[in-house]
């Protein structure tokens, strides 16, 4: 049986070029993902192509573009279990996986560095969309000499079939955590994030200790293929939603034919900070009746009061629609830094009161109906 897979393209682009230049390279070379047949590419090929040096950056299309027709996936046996896999590998017995690729996915004007990291688990750490992997960075815990580091949890940014559609990889979206001394303004490496820096510095072929998968709160409900899913993310919190959307719009899964509405709100600092934007924009073009996509760029856009535009401002902008959809049974998801929730909760409470409703009662009902899904860190 012929199987569709990813169209792989490698382009050498100057490292100091900005994001718009890197995007334009694809246009200059007239690359079409719609007109050319899919070509199967193995993770090993990506390892060979994912090369970095001081003066150049090789853009490997591990972050695939959406395309019609949808992509065939395997093994379909991953659809058989009725319950999600949970804690197959625990901290005392982690699974040793392999780094396939590490790709910077933000422009130079983004505050900080965010990487898309593909991990080969060989099919031994299966997961469902919305779950997380635990990662144990190498070295010992400074607070417990002789003991390994604590597990760090990362939301998985791919479907159960992975970026190569073969069920053997998982992808993470990781922002490098760097600490700057508030007095000197200089970086203090001793306080940098141990795991995020390990992951962003990894090279193809490096080994990585993973645990899990874990989590049930963010699982994508599939009992109703025509349901409405409202997804609200800040920064790398978009990870699980990328998995949802690939399953809905990119992959051909015989048991799941999505015909509902997916609405993504993504909050980041600026245009260069947008994550997977080309992928989401392609869904918007191909499935305008089933996908909506709103961006909140805090350093570039203004809200209705003239202040910075945050995701809660976008929620307020579309509050009537959102509340009507929730009344109709829509699921709403929140993922990102825990600091996002107070502002969002305040906005929803204010909107509810304007509508003559009690937010406390409404929230209680949403939770009771399992429409409310939150994963913050």
Distances (CA, A) of 267 to 105, 123, 195, 211, 226: 16, 33, 24, 29, 26
Is 103 a known active-site residue?
no
Rounded CA separation 377/375 (Å)? 7
Is 155 a known active-site residue?
yes
Question: Which residue out of 155, 202, 214, 273 is catalytically annotated?
Answer: 155
Is 375 a known active-site residue?
yes
Q: Which residues are annotated as a binding site for NADP(+)?
A: 155, 175, 236, 298-299, 308, 336-337, 375
Is 377 a known active-site residue?
yes
Question: Which residue out of 133, 154, 161, 244 is catalytically annotated?
Answer: 154
Rounded CA separation 21/27 (Å)? 10
Question: Which residue out of 24, 180, 353, 377 is catalytically annotated?
Answer: 377
| Residue 336 CB partners (closer than 8 Å, separation 6+) | 232, 233, 234, 235, 236, 237, 238, 267, 376, 377
Is 276 a known active-site residue?
no
Q: Which residues are annotated as a binding site?
A: 155, 175, 236, 298-299, 308, 336-337, 375
Rounded CA separation 224/145 (Å)? 50
Catalytic site positions: 154-155, 335, 375, 377
């Amino acid at each position: 049986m012929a199987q569709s897979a990813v169209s792989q393209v490698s382009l050498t682009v100057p490292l100091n070029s900005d994001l718009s230049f890197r995007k334009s390279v694809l246009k200059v070379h007239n690359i079409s993902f719609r007109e050319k047949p899919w070509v199967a590419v193995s993770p090993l090929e990506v390892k060979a192509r994912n090369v970095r040096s001081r003066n150049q950056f090789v853009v490997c299309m591990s972050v695939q573009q959406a395309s019609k027709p949808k992509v065939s996936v395997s093994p379909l046996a991953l659809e058989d279990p009725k319950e999600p896999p949970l804690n197959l590998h625990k901290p005392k017995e982690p699974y040793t996986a392999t780094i396939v690729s590490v790709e910077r996915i933000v422009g130079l004007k983004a505050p900080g560095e965010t990487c898309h990291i593909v991990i080969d688990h060989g099919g031994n750490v299966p997961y469902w969309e919305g779950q997380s992997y635990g990662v144990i960075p190498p070295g010992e815990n400074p607070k417990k000499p002789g003991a390994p580091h604590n597990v760090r949890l990362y939301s998985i940014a791919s479907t159960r079939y992975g970026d190569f559609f073969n069920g053997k990889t998982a992808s993470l979206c990781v922002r490098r955590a760097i600490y700057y001394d508030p007095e000197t303004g200089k970086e203090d490496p001793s306080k940098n994030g141990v795991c995020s820096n390990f992951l962003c510095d990894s090279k193809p072929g490096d080994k990585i200790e993973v645990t899990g998968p874990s989590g049930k709160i963010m699982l994508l409900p599939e009992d109703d293929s025509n349901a409405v899913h409202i997804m609200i993310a800040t920064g790398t919190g978009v990870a699980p939603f990328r998995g949802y959307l690939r399953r809905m719009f990119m992959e051909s899964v015989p048991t799941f034919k999505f015909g509902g509405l997916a609405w993504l709100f993504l909050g980041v600092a600026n245009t260069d900070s947008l994550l997977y934007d080309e992928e989401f924009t392609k869904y918007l073009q191909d499935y305008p009746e089933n996908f909506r996509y709103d961006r909140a760029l805090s350093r570039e856009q203004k809200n209705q009061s003239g202040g910075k535009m945050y995701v809660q401002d976008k929620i307020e902008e579309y509050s009537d629609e959102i509340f009507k959809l929730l009344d109709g049974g829509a699921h709403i998801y929140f993922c990102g830094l825990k600091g996002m929730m107070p502002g969002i909760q305040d906005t929803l409470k204010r909107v509810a009161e304007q509508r003559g409703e009690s937010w406390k009662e409404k929230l209680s009902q949403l939770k009771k109906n399992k429409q409310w899904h939150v994963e913050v860190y």
